[in-house]
Structure 1
């Protein structure tokens, strides 16, 4: 059996050095997940694994379990003697999370160790700026680079207007326009993917993520359904997270569509950089931007420089994240508590804070 070059999947000297601390173990990368079982890529191929009882017992949040994109330590590189065991998760350089569905809430990891997050939004009936703000807030917090992908341009009658609206809430993230039916635009996505890097596609169901990945792969590896008649919305196709190696280098993670992204942690300062800049000129440092005199934010709304919907979205996310009334330092502490409250993640805390400040 020929060996697999894990450097193509992103293995580097830092990861190799950390892996050396696990005596008798082998490094691997999680490529898929189905309930409590994980597919991982080892130097000898893809095998099925499960976490050890100790790792499961010590887990306190969803972040304490492996996720697609994670680098993990396993006890074997082949599966002829049953499922391998995952004994540890190596330090993550980025972590895209959401609040898990259900009444219990909690943290759910969408993807780990991603360099670029492609936020896909269709230019037809799916177009929703408030939802885009949510994705951007989560992406900036993850420490991956967000890139906005506007799909189905062929179904858009007011492209220039929608592009201007998207630019206004982008927070500096780059924007790519493409059509699922033409050789138009998807090539621009390729320039963001280098060998050894990982990208993830996120967005609502049916916005064309699978179509774009098939184009990048050069063949149909993911099922694609036609859009529904009547509302121009695509049908849900992807049902689980999966990582694939691209033929021209780099790895891609496909994720199930999310009609609603419930935030668990978010970088609202970056996602709403325009409002934060305005707020610096308010008369009062603790201005709520509601009724206070000398509010630069309300003045911008009244003068037409800031949309009422944009400000309403900002208020809604601050309330949802329980950041209202907190200082910048307190907000950062609250995010760290949410993201790294589990025992398994606390060892990454200092590295996370250090990298966030770079």
Structure 2
């Protein structure tokens, strides 16, 4: 397998980038920039208009002024592959372009402007870290899973601090609870203290680029240190009262694992807002969408319609009502966000509101014996 890149009239040896995920497909995408004399590099950290990239010349810092579009989802981020000025091109060196992303993990920001925020790019595995030191929040896990599926990465739910649940039966029940909200996703109890589950996690992380996701105090930095085999990431204890921790990771960092693979550690996420994640929501609630396909009416709202397979499943106990409530909540949230930037969706929502209002008035008139 060849990993050299022709730069102008010379050939640049890119074999050092293999550990960071460089392959022939990336080399092909980079070819037009190689012809311009630029170097390939993977972004390992972004910080206030500059970024650190690993290149065939080693670790370099470059200015991102040429790759700062108005769309916040297109700004350069950790995990991107980019074209950067070679040594001697000037000071500062600049990132000239980003290669098309294979996957992108994005969420909505907490601002009132309803903007998306890109968290990591070109990720193969989204490792959703959930602490067993506190009560499980299944709704939050569903949110993370929706974003992970939407990104194009394969999710994995890691139940960290498994040593805090000494009862094997109790631990198995917790795993089963999470499995019910994570169809098609492996759920892995892990303890950095005892080593439980770490071999499996290393095997998964060794198969490409992985991103660690979770709230503050979930144990991401401790897991990162376990995978790296060294105390690279700072670790702080979570509060006993609620299991929450302070942000030990303040930036997104890309690190090479000793057994192969690349790890992106992210700061703890206080908010897990959806961003155009309808397909991801559908993947998380696949059993509901499968049932909906069996409803008598294709536009069934799963409320009181005759022949509704979803409400029938709730009635016979095969579908928990909490799942349907969560499904509706995430779909509504996602629709509201999309509507703020899509006039067509806004019009459809307004039309639906008017229809439901008319139906409500008709039902009230019929109850009171009025005829319009």
TM-score by length of 2: 0.82
1:78 shift after superposition: 7.4
Distance 1:147 1:77 in 2: 40
In structure 2, the partner of 1:70 is 80
In structure 2, the partner of 1:191 is 203
Q: 2:178 aligns with which of 162, 166, 175?
A: 166
Larger Rg: 2
SS of structure 1 residue aligned to 2:76: coil
Q: Is the 8 A contact 2:202 2:259 kept in 1?
A: no
TM-score by length of 1: 0.85
1:218 shift after superposition: 0.7
> What is the RMSD of the two structures over their aligned residues, measured on CA atoms?
2.3
1:256 aligns with 2:256: no
In structure 1, the partner of 2:56 is 43
Q: Is the 8 A contact 2:37 2:86 kept in 1?
A: no
Query: Superposition pairs for residues 68-147 of structure 1, below 5 Å?
Result: 68-77=78-87, 82-125=91-134, 127-147=136-156
Q: Is the 8 A contact 2:51 2:61 kept in 1?
A: yes
Distance 2:321 2:28 in 1: 51
Distance 1:18 1:38 in 2: 21
1:227 shift after superposition: 2.2
In structure 2, the partner of 1:24 is 37
In structure 1, the partner of 2:233 is 222
| Paired positions, count | 322
List per-residue Cα deviations over 1:285-334 (Å, max 9, x = no partner): 1001122111111111121111111111100111011189x9xxxx9x98
SS of structure 1 residue aligned to 2:129: strand
In structure 2, the partner of 1:284 is 297
Which residues of structure 2 form unaligned runs of 5+?
Answer: 1-12, 346-372
SS of structure 2 residue aligned to 1:109: strand
1:275 aligns with 2:284: no
Q: Which has the higher contact order (CA 8 A, sep 6+)?
A: 1
